[in-house]
Amino acid sequence: MGLTGFLTVSAALFTLGMVIFISRKNAIAILMGVELLLNAAALNFVAFARFTPSQASQLDGQIFAVFIVLLAAAEAVVALAIALSVYKEFHQVRADKLVSLKG
Amino acid sequence: MMGIPELFFYFFTIMVIGIGCIVAFSKNLLRSAFALFFVLFGVAGFYVLLGADFLAIVQIMVYAGGVNVLLIFGTMLTSDISTPKTSSLSFQGTLTVIAGVTLFVLLAIIINSGNWPTYVPGEMMPTTKDLGKLLLKEYVLPFEVVSFLLLAAIISAVVLVKKGD
């Protein structure tokens, strides 16, 4: 379990997120895929911070991962609010059926 | 002879990838949402193995405790979960899986053929104090921007949900 092990796991997580993001119909399932993509990116940052730390400060990668977690929380809140209001308007959240911009 | 960290590494790997496949391919959306909880928990386990203790707790509290509960509520509020009549995969499902496997194989080849200049990692130290100092010294501007962004997210969520009434 060196750097390459963590990077490979992160690549697998990224691939899973991408597959969900492309193949799912439900908007909330797509949001789950986005969360997996963000997690893969954060895992890469932390792995590099552990195995190839910068000389100035060892924790730069972890700081970046903290910001990724916060941004993901904000993104999930707004996207779910959009999904709820779309559901109120159209009574479904299937991304392939939502083709009209003006309700 | 495998040490305890290696054992945990392989355990978390199987957990994240295996349950991640449930998230991707389960027909029941609620089952996907609950499986996502275990994937996020496994990623927190990787953070512990990488010596990021504060980040692991943040991951469990914010992701598994906050975002995932929001996703479960969103699933239950917006879809008919009791009778998943049609598959939630779109018709490009198999094509996407083929593309995903190809992408993963490419990435794995690139990662494992590269010569990363790694250092031998030192002793694992508690990171919370240093992270706090960094957040309030070097990274104080991004910190404030993120806090403003969270405020904007709260207000926009309330406005978006109330607008339909």
Q: Which residues of A touch B101 (CB under 8 A)?
A: 15
Q: Which residues of B touch A41 (CB under 8 A)?
A: none
Sign for the CA dihedral angle at B148, B149, B152, B154 comes to negative
ipTM above 0.85, yes or no: yes
Residue A25's pLDDT is 82
Q: Cβ contact (<8 Å) for B62 and A70?
A: yes
Domain count, chain A: 1
Q: Which helix (H) or strand (E) holds B19?
A: helix B4-25
Q: Cβ contact (<8 Å) for B20 and A36?
A: yes
Picking from A30, A62, A67 by the largest number of B CB atoms within 10 A of its own CB, the best residue to mutate is A62
Q: Cβ contact (<8 Å) for A51 and B33?
A: no
Strand partners, A94: A26
3-state secondary structure of B96: helix
Residue A52's pLDDT is 84
Residue A100 placed within a domain? no
Which residue range is the domain that position A37 belongs to?
3-90
**Low-confidence residues in chain A, pLDDT < 50:** none
Residue B5's pLDDT is 86
Cα-based distances in Å from B135 to A51, A52, B53: 22, 21, 16
Residue A78 placed within a domain? yes
**Low-confidence residues in chain B, pLDDT < 70:** 1, 80-91, 163-165
Residue B46's pLDDT is 94
Give the number of beta-carbon pairs within 8 Å between A and B.
227
Q: Cβ contact (<8 Å) for A39 and B39?
A: yes
- A59 closest CB neighbour out of B5, B93, B131: B131
The 3-class SS string of chain A reads CCHHHHHHHHHHHHHHHHHHHHHECEHHHHHHHHHHHHHHHHHHHHHHHHHCCCCCCCCHHHHHHHHHHHHHHHHHHHHHHHHHHHHHHHCCCECCCCCCCCC
Q: Which residues of B touch A96 (CB under 8 A)?
A: 90
Residue B80's pLDDT is 65
Q: Cβ contact (<8 Å) for B23 and A88?
A: no
Residue A99 placed within a domain? no
Residue A82 placed within a domain? yes
Residue A103 placed within a domain? no
The CATH number of residue A12's host domain is 1.10.287.3510
Residue B87's pLDDT is 53
Please tell me which residue of chain A has the smallest CA distance to B147: A70
Q: What is the pLDDT of residues B64-73, one digit of tens each?
A: 888 999 999 8
Residue A75 placed within a domain? yes
